[in-house]
Chain A
Amino acid sequence: MNLPVLILLPLLTAVVILLMRNATQVKWAALAGAAAQFVLAFALLFAFRSERAAGNEAQMLFELQYNWFPAWHISFHLGVDGISVAMILLTSFVVIAGVLVSWNVEKMTKEFYFLLILLSLGAYGFFMSLDLFILFFFLEIAVIPKYLLIGIWGSGKKEYAANKLALMLMGGSALVLVGLLGTYFGSPTKTFDLMTLSQLNIPASVQHICFPLLFVGFGVFTALFPFHTWVPDGHSSAPTAGSMFLAGISMKLGGYGCLRVATYIMPDGAKEYANIIIVLSAIAILYGAFATMMQKDLKYINAYSSVSHCGFVLLGIGMLTKTAMTGAVMQMVSHGLMTALFFAVIGMIYERTHTRQVNEMGGLLKVMPFITTVLFIVGLCSLGLPGLSGFVAEMTIFMGSWQNTDAFHRIATIAACMSIVVTAVYILRAVGQTAMGPLKAGYENLTDATWNEKAAAIILIAGIVAIGIAPFWLNDLVSPATEIIMKKLAAVTAGM
């Protein structure tokens, strides 16, 4: 499997989109590109599995390295392990669904799709990069289109939201950049290469400063408390596909960065700050859930619930056990699919009812059975129903967290467990008010989902169910990779 293909394909698609003459051509070109990405992501999964089955035990597969800027020890270094493959798969699901639900975008269609595809390029590059400089480069590619997507195609307080999002994410990136430079200068061998850095013992004093910089910087992306306030405003103002990409992909860039960069190369730092991470993520989980309970706008509900669910990702990382960390990756994939679907279905409802306020809706099950069924499924996934992906991820995190035997970790785990009740409250409230009850006047003639909306929903549901019913494939994919990270952490303990 040739990894650069995954970067070149979106690039090619983006160029083709720019060459198209009208909106219809643009849409089909984007869909073809997204479908090709989807196929490629699966090809990568199968190639990865067959390599592993053939006994290839290398940490990173399909590695590829060009010296790019030797003076600064920057190389174009790509490679994937199980975590990367899982994230790439997730990205391809969200991209194709996002392209499908945006079928009705009429304003500047070409630019809209161009930005979407560009964003996917950044995400793929980010998940494959093994060089911190390249990684940062792709991170920025994935962030900047967000500003335009919200600022141009958004709704509501879009300028405020776009500014806030861009500034906060840029702030996060700035912290990451400083952290990267610090790592570069502070490590015994001057290098940006992730694999080399992971073999070095970066001095504890460097880790002491750079770990929080990197973790918080990436953490901003994944709604680390208290840097989560861009999430509600950003999501609620973004166009549907924008929200899907934001929650489904961008927030995962952060979680991936926290794990792959911060935790992996700085085990001392991870150990030092683990308890703070746990406290912050436990707060995010419960506080996000309680704040969700009070929201009345569907997008705000999903945004705050994302804060709560992403808290699980950071909690899983902070628990520093292999099981919890595997759970964190599963939660990233699960939450990415689920929240993309949630935003997609909110968009579908909004296009028909022109409101997102739950108390202005009611009984929609009668007029749009397909859309409300999807809403039920995604709601049940969010509250952790077995058979859907959320359950698997959360349970893995709980089981992993419980392996820590001290009271502090136990209390944090129980606090996180408590969210399953609060989640049930707000999900049932939202779904109940929207889909059930008497049909509100004026909604009698609403129509159900169109082909493209159905296709988007079915693709994402397929992903959610595939993890929910058969979690072992994802577990087998991810846990060898988390094991390597854990081994490094354990080695530090032994050395101390």
Chain B
Amino acid sequence: MNDFLQMPLLQILPAGKGSALALLLIPLLPFAGFLLLGIFGRKHIKSASGIIATTLLLVSAALSLYTAYGYFFDYGKVNGVYQKFIAVQYTWLQFSPGLSIDLGILLDPISVMMLVVVTFISLMVHIYSLGYMKGEERFATYYAFLGLFTFSMLGLIMASNLFQMYIFWELVGVSSFLLIGYYYNKPSAVAACKKAFIVTRFADLGFLIGILILSFHAETLDFNTLIERLTIDGNHELHTAYSSMFLGASALTWGAILIFIGGAGKSAMFPLHIWLPDAMEGPTPVSALIHAATMVVAGVYLVARMFPVFSMSAGAMHLVTLVGIFSALFAAIIACTQTDIKRVLAYSTMSQIGFMMFALGVSGSNLVEGSLDYTNLGAGYTASMFHLFTHAIFKALLFLGAGSVIHFIHSNDMKDMGGLRKYLPITHIAFLVACLAISGVPPFAGFFSKEEILLAAWQHNKMVYYVALFTSGLTAFYMFRLYFNIFWNKGAIVHGEHHGEGGFVMMLPLVLLAVGAATAGFIPFGNFITADGKPLEIEFHWQFSIAPVAVGLTGIFTAMWLYKSENNKPAAIASSWGGLYKAAYHKFYIDEVYLFITKKVLFNLVGRPAAWFDKNVVNGLVNMTGNTTLTISDKIKGFQSGKVQQYAIYFLAGVIGLAVLFIYIWK
């Protein structure tokens, strides 16, 4: 149907271009760091562990940039179209002929872009943590886990095989678990890391079954072959995937939806988002890396990777759009009421990922009512990836800035903050840049990417556009609410002497990221990253920008009016909104619903009866058998006379009996 979405596949890197070894080193260096620090870090190289890990990652990041340069400007393009390359591939586990897990490295525009994003943000976090985590007892362990995470994330994005992605998907999940639970003696952190793991595991169940369904029909797990077989009209694989129906939907739709559930869990989409705010229990640099810039966008990346398959199913695309737009709005409303600055950022992340998600949902070709609209094809895809890119920069910056504030004030609550611009000048400017970027103020990075998303939504579905527009207004509002509450408003209560703004290692990442957040929007993304590898002309109408910018500025000025100086307007508004405010403040009670389902239903109605049944019924029967045997043997112990002749007779009788029985049956 839309086989033009396929990129041509070259099996190997062009001769003399790029190096498979360099590509392999990109993930393996952080992994080496993990092993080294994990095994020897506690005793032998504790103090040097931060430097070791950072150096390894610096090499990794340099190699990624080298790869990106080579791919985008040198060998990636053949006849004006970006190609897919499989640089390395190795059969890891052969299930049956055709179905195997191959570990490989796939280079295409989005994987190369993600390589740069992940290694760069990870490097920033590594550097920042040298200051932020200084003096921690488990300093080496922290860096070991960061290395494990970076390795897993890189493996995920370079995956050439659906199952390989699942493998690294699980590994990023466990790294996230380990890092959220880094402060392991804090009960809230323990609860948070378990919650994060279990909620995403539940979503991964969907992913797994989705893999089973799609691989069964495509008879392969390799991304390229799978996409080819399930998207080209006339392929019998596509035909069977379309024609096997279950509960009114085709196997293809089911597969896509189940895979999307996996992605929604990792990307904290409603209703699987509940773990993300709690995940803020981890160290703040970790939140910046995992729970803002990289791991949580894995779901978006997954949908983008499988995009041609998704675009074959209108149902799946509708679901992606719906979940994305709803999560964006829902999270933005909650973010307006939270007072823990990291939680505000967490909901903001969820909301922004919602933007990326629905941008993918609105970029299918076969969704426009009536007829196929090729002009709009893939615009949302590019916009989504663009927003993923800019969001990674400004959200990492926001988290690192928040970390610097928390480092200074030793609290997460904005009630304890205010007027900090005097004490934290660099953080203040960097944070302001990030807030402007996320609010979509030109010419900061977020403006361009959000604009493209809104444009794609406008062309596809006006309803989605209006909700998105409203949500971007809310975004500007809650971000500046945060900004004014931290840096303006009342004077901060700073006790006696304070240690200032953190050293060079903490400020350098802030400055670099701020520069990125201010300028990344000027990258002509459509030239590099498109669904089909061909450059995409995005027409830019300045008239179209008026509404979003106006809405954004309204949000900013409302926040300024309410929060720039201390007053009682916010409290008055909160009380006048009454129920809605309270519901939003309590995150719409979703956690309570989950708690009810797990504690009351699963534990009490399934777990407890199962344990009881086992202890009393099954085991009871066994004991009863035992007791009956005892009673019977007590009755018949007279047979045990001690007379050998008698035994011999019983024995003979038994053997004859058995023999007769067998002969009778099988003669």
Contacts and interface: CB of A to CB of B under 8 A. Distances in A.
B606 interface: yes
B618 A387 contact: no
A429 B94 CA distance: 34
A294 B608 contact: yes
Interface in B49-108: 91-96, 99, 101
A316 to B, nearest CB: 12
A243 B610 CA distance: 24
A4 interface: no
Contact of A421 (B193, B205, B658, B659): B205
B622 A164 contact: yes
A203 B666 contact: yes
B202 interface: yes
B95 A323 contact: yes
Contact of A437 (B184, B197, B618): B184
Contact of A385 (B170, B606, B626): B170
B96 A290 contact: no
Contacts of A399: 95-96, 99, 212, 215
A425 B198 CA distance: 6
Interface string B606-618: 1110110010001
A413 interface: yes
Contacts of A61: none
Nearest to A370: B42
A366 interface: yes
B93 A475 contact: yes
Given A205-B666, A294-B611, A386-B170, A400 B95 contact: yes
A312 to B, nearest CB: 14
Given A205-B665, A396-B95, A475-B94, A432 B607 contact: no
B610 A418 contact: no
Interface string B162-184: 01001110110010010001001
A437 B603 contact: no
A428 B198 contact: yes
Nearest to B181: A436
Nearest to B174: A385
B201 interface: yes
B194 interface: yes
B205 A167 contact: no
Interface in B344-378: none
B622 A168 contact: yes
A116 B94 CA distance: 37
B212 A398 contact: yes
A73 B166 CA distance: 52
Nearest to A293: B607
B30 to A, nearest CB: 15
A369 B42 contact: yes
Interface residues of A, number: 66
A133 to B, nearest CB: 16
Contacts of A186: 662, 665-666
B212 to A, nearest CB: 4
Interface in A431-463: 432, 435-439
B198 A420 contact: no
A420 B201 contact: yes
A471 B201 contact: no
B662 A428 contact: no
B21 to A, nearest CB: 20
B642 interface: no
B185 A472 contact: no
B209 A386 contact: no
B187 interface: yes
B100 to A, nearest CB: 9
Nearest to A372: B184
Nearest to B93: A471
Interface string B22-49: 0000000000000000000010000000
A403 B217 CA distance: 10
A291 B99 contact: no
Contacts of B629: 167
A206 interface: yes
Given A206-B666, A421-B205, A439-B185, A396 B93 contact: yes
B631 interface: no
A437 B93 contact: no
Q: Per DSSP, are chain A's interface residues mostly helix, strand or loop, or mixed?
A: helix
B190 interface: yes
A403 B212 CA distance: 9
Contacts of A228: 618
A230 B205 CA distance: 31
B232 to A, nearest CB: 23
B651 interface: no
Contacts of B96: 322-323, 399-400, 403
A365 B626 CA distance: 43
Contacts of B193: 432
A382 to B, nearest CB: 13
Contacts of B101: 395
Contacts of B603: 293-294
Contacts of B606: 290
Nearest to A398: B212
Contacts of B194: 428-429, 432
Interface in A322-349: 322-323
B665 A209 contact: yes
A174 interface: no
A206 B166 CA distance: 45
B205 A417 contact: yes
B185 A363 contact: yes
Contacts of A392: 93
A229 B93 contact: no
Interface string B628-667: 0100000000000000000000000000001100110110
A421 B181 CA distance: 19
Contact of B208 (A290, A398, A428): A398
Nearest to A287: B610
B204 interface: yes
A295 interface: yes
B170 A391 contact: yes
A38 interface: no
Contacts of B91: 472
B575 interface: no
A496 B204 CA distance: 41
Contact of A290 (B99, B204, B607): B607
A257 B37 CA distance: 44
Given A290-B610, A472-B93, A363 B197 contact: no
B212 A413 contact: yes
Contacts of B184: 363, 365, 435-437
Contact of A167 (B611, B618, B626): B626
A395 B92 CA distance: 13
Nearest to A413: B212
B106 to A, nearest CB: 18
B167 to A, nearest CB: 4
Interface string B594-613: 00000000010011101100
Contacts of B204: 420
B174 A380 contact: yes
B216 interface: yes
Contact of A294 (B95, B198, B607): B607
Nearest to A380: B174
B619 interface: yes
19 contacts: A168-B622, A186-B665, A205-B665, A291-B614, A293-B603, A294-B608, A294-B610, A295-B611, A363-B185, A386-B166, A391-B167, A395-B93, A400-B96, A413-B212, A414-B209, A424-B197, A432-B193, A437-B187, A479-B94
Interface of B: 42, 91-96, 99, 101, 163, 166-168, 170-171, 174, 177, 181, 184-185, 187, 190, 193-194, 197-198, 201-202, 204-205, 208-209, 212, 215-216, 603, 606-608, 610-611, 614, 618-619, 621-622, 626, 629, 658-659, 662-663, 665-666
Given A403-B96, A417-B205, 13 more contacts: A185-B666, A186-B666, A228-B618, A229-B622, A294-B611, A385-B174, A387-B171, A395-B101, A399-B96, A399-B215, A417-B209, A417-B212, A428-B194
